[in-house]
Amino acid sequence: MKKNNGLEVIQVCKKYADQTVLDNVSFSVKPEQHTVVLGESGCGKSTLLRVVAGLFAPNAGKITIDGNRVSSANQIIIQPHLRNIALVFQDLALWSNLTVLGNITLVLSAKKFSAVNVKKQAKDVLEMCGIISLANRKPSETSGGQQQRVALARAIVLQPKYLLLDEPFSGLDLVTKYDLMEEIVALADKKNITIILVTHDPFEATFFAKQALILSRGKIVESGLFKDLLAQSQNPIMLKFRSQLQKTNDLPAVND
């Protein structure tokens, strides 16, 4: 492997049947430059994460990770599990026949850890995500927000270099959400993990983002430092973000 010089998406196109969903998309993510992907529903955000993770090949263009080409037109060069990438799916995609603990240990068991080590790492990550008490339940026996935490635990347990998160916090209560977001950013800082987050939430975006990409109808219509876009962009999403963040700043003082 070459040195860690980030992720590059170069002129990527993706079609479903005759519908173009990603249209000549190019961007790069430098190491530890956490990036948010914004855009209207149906604009191609989840498809973009899936192409980057290698779940399917682009129809045109290429993707490199740390200088190594991982996908080319109609070709997966490096398989998803060898990309050092974890993806938390929008629909979570937990293994329903396994327990919460089983969902984590299955990921670990593909690596050459001892059985004792697998159990310890799995329990540590469940602890960190606040769901150790659910270890022996099936996902269907937990709440929606708890299932989101299981999916996050499963993604971070192998400490990937790139963590792709597709609206992973949407069903969580505020306290859990901010606790978990803080834990994830701390873990990312400690282990040099680069996060790419799809979100519709201005507070989540502000929490994570160094860089932002704004997609519309499969094209990147704006990109740059999140703080610059937040200050200056006239894109409707950024205008909305600015007004929502402004409203929070304008909250009235509460009387005793």
Ligand X SMILES: Nc1ncnc2c1ncn2[C@@H]1O[C@H](COP(=O)(O)OP(=O)(O)OP(=O)(O)O)[C@@H](O)[C@H]1O
Residue ranges binding ligand X (CB under 6 A): 16, 21, 39, 41-47, 90
Q: Which does 202 bind (CB under 5 to 8 A by kind): Mg ion, ligand X, none?
A: none
Least Å distance, CB 21 to ligand X, is 4
**Rounded Cα gap, residues 60 and 37, in angstroms:** 21
Tell me the closest approach of the beta carbon of residue 15 to ligand X, in angstroms.
Answer: 9
47/121 with CB nearer ligand X: 47
- Report the residue number, 58 or 102, with the smaller CB distance to ligand X: 58
Smaller CB separation from Mg ion, 42 or 236: 42
Strands 211-216 vs 219-225: parallel, antiparallel or unpaired? antiparallel
Q: Using the minimum distance from each CB to ligand X, give the nearer residue, 18 or 250.
A: 18
Could you say which of 34, 37, 46, 162 contacts Mg ion (CB under 5 A)? 46
Q: Tokens 């629909």 — which residue?
A: 91
CB of 215 to Mg ion, least distance (A): 11
- Least Å distance between CB 167 and ligand X? 7
Specify the 3-state DSSP secondary structure of 54. coil
Residue 169, SS3? coil
User: In the complex with ligand X, which residue's Cβ is closer, 47 or 233?
Assistant: 47
Residue 198: closest CA among 22, 56, 47? 47
d(CA 85, CA 65): 10
**220-246 burial, b if ≥16 CB within 10 A, otherwise e?**
bebbeebeebbeebebebbeebbeeee
Contact between 211 and Mg ion (CB under 5 A)?
no
Is there binding between residue 199 and Mg ion (CB under 5 A)?
Answer: no
C-alpha of 106 from chain center: 20
Note the residues at the interface with Mg ion (CB under 5 A).
46, 90
